Structure 1
Amino acid sequence: MLGQKQEAQAALFYEFSLEDHVPQDHLIRSIDRFVDLNGIRQYLSQFYSHTGRPSIDPELLIRMLLVGYCFGIRSERRLCEEVHLNLAYRWFCRLDLSDRVPDHSTFSKNRHGRFRESDLLRHLFEMTVAQCIDEGLVSGQRMAIDASLIEADANKQNSTPKEDWDASAIDPADAPRAVREYLDTLDEAAFGAASEVQPKFTSHSDPASQWTAARKGPAFFSYSDNYLIDTDHGVIVDVEATRSIRQAEVGSTKTMLKRVKEKFDLHPERIIADTAYGTGPMLGWLVDRKIAPHIPVFDKSGRNDGTWTRAEFEWDAENDQYICPEGQALKQFRRNYSDPSRGPTGKGVARYRALKLTCQSCPSKSKCCPKADARKITREEHEDARQVAREIAKTRQYDVSMKLRKKVEMLFAHLKRILGLGRLRLLGPCGANDEFLLAATAQNLRKLAKIFPAPQQMRTA
């Protein structure tokens, strides 16, 4: 029998509960168990006026932002539409069916004002880290660090070559917000002070972003998203936004390790990273703090002509000399200098030389220094720390660490493919920092929800 056409009839009264219409196995329920924003109002109280009309509840704005970043809704305009239509999102945001969803422009006003002034997003991220620690997901023993390029909201057509760019000619009073932030970060180690080398192009809309071709493809403007994670369960314990150059990324390691020590009293026994972090100063900094560097050494002492490399010479620390494979000594000084200027250079590099007569009569001269009268070897200031890293690289624990390092790479893949953060929407260093903090917060919440899902309730017949 053909069914009858359904006619929508208006009812005088409705009995409707959002709680009953959100599936018990929905991810939003598991996330909600770990979102405690009761202290947000008190945290922001000093940034609100005591007179005037009541503002929009900051907890509502934060919950909406968490929905957007947890479920890959990149547009705030679309986020407002989704919260308006999706019952599960309404339930999470504590909105009833008749409650009005805030306008998308409200997010910009609060983000550029109270949220940044109070560093609220950093506070929110650290709350999730504290929850992960309380749930036993973070031991703090083994940590990994890495950086990933995130494309900035800028293009080459609106940029200036480095020979024509003059930051001193910019008037901060008339400059846009992102340009003022760029001027404020010129002396910061994570941005302007990271390197004296100027980028090939500078964006007009976001001059703090870095012009880079690190992906071996077409160059673009970007920021670097730096993660410090605990390898037990892949929890992000800190995040930092920097320029997309190696010096800034490596420098952020010190910033994040100091911050987690002060905030959570976490001091790892080992740090896992790739070769970019294996520079002498970085390894020396880690070794001085009793942190084992499970990092490949960044070493350019190798040779391509088949002759002996520095690694084939044995270091004799007691006598401050190298021993060549033929058993001869290479010394830095063969007599004491009364004139200090004739001693070490003071530039962090020591040079060790063999005797000319010894090398001339050596049967292995063709393998050692065929084009020189005598063999010379340089030793950098942090060579002891480099040697510590080389010895660690021979252990089985190092092989395990190299496998654990993939966890941070998986987090970046999840960030770009699942959460959709392949390109920034906000401009300036503060905008990049806001997006990275919210994305890391969302990833930690999803991690908690996955490991500790909401208990399922039996349906009543």
Structure 2
Amino acid sequence: MLGPKQEAQGALFYEFSIDDHVPHDHLLRSIDRFVDLSDIRQHLSVFYSHTGRPSIDPELLIRMLLVGYCLGIRSERRLCEEVHLNLAYRWFCRLDLSDSVPDHSTFSKNRHGRFRDSDLLRHLFETTVARCIADGLVSGQRFAADASLIEADANKQNSTPKEDWDISKIDPADAPRAVREYLDVLDDAAFGAASEVDPKFTSHSDPSSQWTAARKGPAFFAYSTNYLIDTDHAVIVDVEATRSIRQAEVGSVCTMLDRVKDKFDLDPERIIADTAYGSGPMLGWLVDHDIAPISP
């Protein structure tokens, strides 16, 4: 028998549990078991005013950012739309059906403000690594190191060749944020001081990025994310961003090894890396620190 036509009707009361509608094998359920954000409010407390209107819960913003990172949602505007519509995302972010989602501009203000000034993302990363160590997933005996290229949001049309680039003409007071950050890292071994060689092109919108053809194709502006990995369970124990040049990438390994030693008392017996990491000053540094290099 033909059923009746379905028409949406309002109701005074609903009994609805978001948890019942999130599959048990959903990726976010697996992640949620290991996410501990209990101390971020204390970590950020000095970056909030004691007067004025209540702010958006920083744990909500971090959970939304995790959704974006894990599900490949790069646009903050789209992320807010997806969290508003998707029940699994709402469940992970601890939002009920009637709870509103923050405006996308809130992410930019916090990511470039409180989160960056407080080094919150580094704090969360190290908290996760500490949990992996406590659960026996990291032995700290055998490490691997490598770098990945991350394309910068910059293009050649908005750049200057090295023969026309004059940093002395930049006024920090009138410069945009990305340019001010570039000026701040001119003496940093991972950026300005990594090499005396001027890049072929310098981006106006993101001068810290490096013009590179490392992928053996058309050149582009990029950064390098350098990883230090414990090989027992492929756990990333540290990460360092640099310009996409070999000197900066190799130097970042020393930085990461020193940092995990100070932070977690991890002192590897050997480190695995490709040919570029096994020659010159890097090789001597490893020998001085009693770390056996395994490199072609």
1:170 aligns to what? 170
2:282 aligns to what? 282
**Cα offset for 1:65?**
0.2
Gaps of at least 5 residues in structure 1 are 297-461
Q: Which is greater in Rg?
A: 1
1:77 aligns to what? 77
**Cα offset for 1:23?**
1.6
Q: Determine helix, strand or coil for the equivalent of 2:163.
A: helix
1:24-423 map, 5 Å: 24-296=24-296
Q: TM-score, normalised by structure 2?
A: 0.98
- CA-based RMSD of the aligned residues comes to 0.8
**Cα offset for 1:157?**
0.3
Q: Distance in 1 between matches of 2:62 and 2:17?
A: 23
Query: In the comparison of the two structures, how many residue pairs are matched?
Result: 296
Q: Distance in 2 between matches of 1:203 and 1:155?
A: 7
Taking only the aligned residue pairs, the percentage that are identical comes to 87
Give CA deviations for 1:67-122 in whole Å, capped at 9, x if unaligned. Answer: 11011111111110111111111111111100000000001101111111110000
**Cα offset for 1:2?**
3.2
AA at the equivalent of 1:44: L
Q: Distance in 2 between matches of 1:174 and 1:113?
A: 19
Gaps of at least 5 residues in structure 2 are none
Give CA deviations for 1:167-203 in whole Å, capped at 9, x if unaligned. Answer: 1110000000000000111100000000000000000
AA at the equivalent of 1:63: R
Give CA deviations for 1:215-252 in whole Å, capped at 9, x if unaligned. Answer: 11111000001000001111100000001000000000
Q: Distance in 2 between matches of 1:210 and 1:193?
A: 13
Q: Determine helix, strand or coil for the equivalent of 2:205.
A: coil
Q: Distance in 2 between matches of 1:217 and 1:289?
A: 37
Give CA deviations for 1:340-398 in whole Å, capped at 9, x if unaligned. Answer: xxxxxxxxxxxxxxxxxxxxxxxxxxxxxxxxxxxxxxxxxxxxxxxxxxxxxxxxxxx
Q: Distance in 1 between matches of 2:38 and 2:21?
A: 25
Q: Determine helix, strand or coil for the equivalent of 2:276.
A: helix
Q: Distance in 2 between matches of 1:154 and 1:177?
A: 14
Alignment of 1:9 onto 2:9: yes
Q: Distance in 1 between matches of 2:280 and 2:37?
A: 43
Q: Distance in 2 between matches of 1:77 and 1:289?
A: 47
1:22 aligns to what? 22
Q: TM-score, normalised by structure 1?
A: 0.63
Q: Distance in 1 between matches of 2:249 and 2:128?
A: 24
Give CA deviations for 1:132-172 in whole Å, capped at 9, x if unaligned. Answer: 11121110110000011111000000000000001111000
Q: Determine helix, strand or coil for the equivalent of 2:113.
A: helix
Relative contact order: is structure 1 or structure 2 higher (C-alpha 8 Å, sep ≥ 6)? 1
Q: Determine helix, strand or coil for the equivalent of 2:293.
A: strand
